[in-house]
């Protein structure tokens, strides 16, 4: 019998899409879903007695599902996650049923938390176990809060003792810490071997952990001695010793540090990966640029929502859920707006005599709010990056006061010229200048103080800050402008 040389099994690499392609793909999937919906409507209109067409109906429906399934097959899990997040719940679950099951775990890691809960609730026990048993311990730890307890217990049975220990360790760190985002896959080598031995060791590995830019040098007790970059490994003489080439002035993290410490360090030092060590200098994990980007993206999204007083929300969530999410801070905003209106109402006599003030006071309030929001955004971002804290308050206040005064002086002169044109009164123009500068300085000062005060009381600096700032600049803007007008114009 002739022996045939085995042919290596081809590996299908999921296709990655750019922004334009992902939008086109999303539209095509929506079109396919619409076709399925129309088909279901036609089938439901048929009379129950048409039993002879049941087989044909089933074949047509199956063909439509197969077309969509084939279209999803080559897509990258991250792109499928994006598509799922962009679809209403019923369509999302339709697509989820047709996704290649080998990507289930990766997709669950990619989607936002509220989408993940939806997808997990639609999966049966066998599918959940299959989706999670291929994940690493650190990845599994990310899913554990959303998984049923019996599934977690079942998956743990299939882990090695080392993997089980890693999972329990990862679950033990609080969200928002380095330990919660670190992974355990990394390459460790000893210092008393040559580069040739290291290269032979690497060739025997089935795969290299993602974002491996350096190897970690440890002793027999797992203490971290240094790091060896891949570049140094490749360009130096294979007979060289690891000990002679490793770097001992490396940057490291501890698991209990806030994850913002990692994001700041990666940005500052242009890192790709960094080791995580315990109190005894033992290597327990590493953080990669991939983990850091996820943290930065989540923090950015949370801050954008928090400034408006919103929590994370599925765009296609039920109306009831959306109302519960948005109502609290809207009620706060209503109260603050009512307060500002009440203050303005106290100057009814002034506005009644000089009607043009009613049009100009909104400019004063709006400019003050804009100035404050600029400062607020800078301060919250600087706090997130660890660049300022409560000790910097006085310095920040002085700086923002001067910057705002100079900017306000330029802006108020333009606004006063407009006020003079529409009113014909230089006194109104002067009141406009003083009121604008005062309100802008107040807005900038509050833009510094509000997030720092909230942080002092261990509250999220971004939550509702914009709402509180708008209240202050509106109320004080009306009071200052109309108060000055009452004193100097009447």
DSSP 218-232: E-TT-BEEEEEEHHH
Phi and psi based region of residue 464 (left: phi greater than 0; alpha: psi -120 to 50; beta: remaining): left
Adjacent-strand bridge partners of 217: 189, 226
Per-residue pLDDT tens for 322-358? 677 777 767 877 888 788 888 888 888 888 888 888 8
**Nearest Cα residue to 296 out of 256, 263, 255:** 263
Q: Do domains 19-45+53-175 and 319-489 have the same CATH topology?
A: no
Residue 321: phi, psi to the nearest 5? -65, -40
Tens of pLDDT, residue by residue over 407-431, are 988 888 888 888 888 888 889 999 9
Query: At 276, which helix (H) or strand (E)?
Result: strand 273-277
Predicted confidence at residue 59, as pLDDT, reads: 53
Weakly modelled stretches of the chain, pLDDT under 50: 1-11, 47-49, 51-52
Question: What burial letters (b/e) apply to 135-166, b meaning 16+ CB within 10 Å?
Answer: bbbbbbbbbbeebeeebbebbeeebeeeeeeb
- Cβ atoms of 84 and 119 within 8 Å: the answer is yes
> What's the chain's Rg over C-alpha atoms?
31
CATH of domain 188-307: 3.10.580.10
Which CATH superfamily groups domain 319-489?
SLC41 divalent cation transporters, integral membrane domain (1.10.357.20)
Q: Could you state, in order of their start, the residue ranges of all structural domains in the chain?
A: 19-45+53-175, 188-307, 319-489
Partner residues linked to 432 by β-bridges: none
Residue 292 CB partners (closer than 8 Å, separation 6+): 181, 262, 263, 266
The correct answer on CATH 1.25.60.10 for the domain covering 19-45+53-175 is yes
């Amino acid at each position: 019998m002739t022996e045939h040389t085995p042919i290596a099994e081809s590996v299908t690499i999921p296709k990655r899409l750019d922004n334009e392609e992902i939008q086109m793909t999303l539209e095509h999937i929506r079109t396919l879903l619409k076709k399925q919906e129309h088909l279901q409507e036609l089938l439901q209109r048929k009379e129950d007695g048409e039993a002879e067409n049941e087989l044909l109906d089933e074949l047509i429906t199956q063909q439509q599902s197969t077309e969509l399934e084939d279209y999803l097959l080559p897509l990258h899990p991250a792109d499928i996650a994006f598509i799922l997040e962009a679809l209403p719940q019923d369509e999302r679950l339709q697509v989820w049923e047709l996704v290649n099951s080998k990507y289930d775990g990766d997709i669950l890691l990619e989607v936002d938390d509220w989408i993940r809960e939806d997808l997990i609730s639609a999966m049966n026990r066998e599918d959940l176990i299959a989706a999670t048993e291929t994940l690493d311990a650190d990845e599994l730890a990310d899913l554990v809060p959303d998984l049923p307890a019996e599934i977690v217990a079942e998956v743990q049975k299939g882990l090695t003792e080392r993997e089980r220990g890693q999972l329990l360790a990862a679950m033990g760190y609080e969200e928002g810490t380095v330990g919660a985002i670190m992974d355990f896959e990394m390459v460790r080598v000893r210092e008393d071997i040559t580069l040739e031995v290291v290269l032979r060791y690497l060739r025997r590995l089935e795969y290299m952990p993602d974002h491996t830019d350096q190897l970690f040098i440890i002793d027999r007790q797992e203490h971290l001695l240094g790091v060896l970059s891949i570049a140094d490994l490749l360009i130096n003489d294979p007979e060289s010793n690891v000990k002679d080439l490793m770097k001992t002035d490396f940057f490291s993290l501890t698991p209990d540090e806030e994850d913002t410490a990692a994001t700041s360090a990666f940005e500052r030092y242009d890192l790709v990966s960094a080791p995580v060590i315990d109190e005894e200098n033992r290597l327990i994990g590493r953080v990669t640029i991939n983990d850091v980007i996820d943290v930065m993206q989540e923090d950015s999204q949370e801050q954008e929502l928090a400034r408006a007083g919103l929590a994370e929300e599925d765009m296609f969530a039920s109306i009831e859920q959306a109302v519960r999410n948005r109502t609290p801070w809207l009620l706060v905003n209503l109260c603050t707006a009512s307060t500002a209106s009440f203050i303005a109402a106290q100057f009814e006599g002034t506005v009644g005599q000089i009607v043009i003030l009613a049009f100009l006071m909104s400019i004063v309030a709006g400019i003050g709010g804009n100035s404050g929001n600029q400062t607020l955004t800078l301060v919250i971002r600087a706090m997130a990056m660890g660049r300022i804290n409560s000790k910097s308050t006085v310095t920040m206040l002085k700086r923002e006061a001067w910057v705002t005064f100079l900017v306000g002086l330029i802006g108020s002169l333009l606004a006063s010229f407009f006020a003079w044109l529409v009113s014909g009164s230089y006194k109104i123009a002067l009141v406009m200048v003083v009121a604008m500068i005062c309100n802008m300085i107040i807005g900038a000062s509050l833009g510094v103080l509000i997030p720092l005060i909230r942080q002092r009381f261990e509250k999220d600096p971004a939550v509702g800050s914009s709402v509180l700032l708008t209240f202050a600049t509106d109320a004080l803007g009306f009071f200052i402008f109309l108060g000055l007008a009452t004193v100097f114009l009447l």
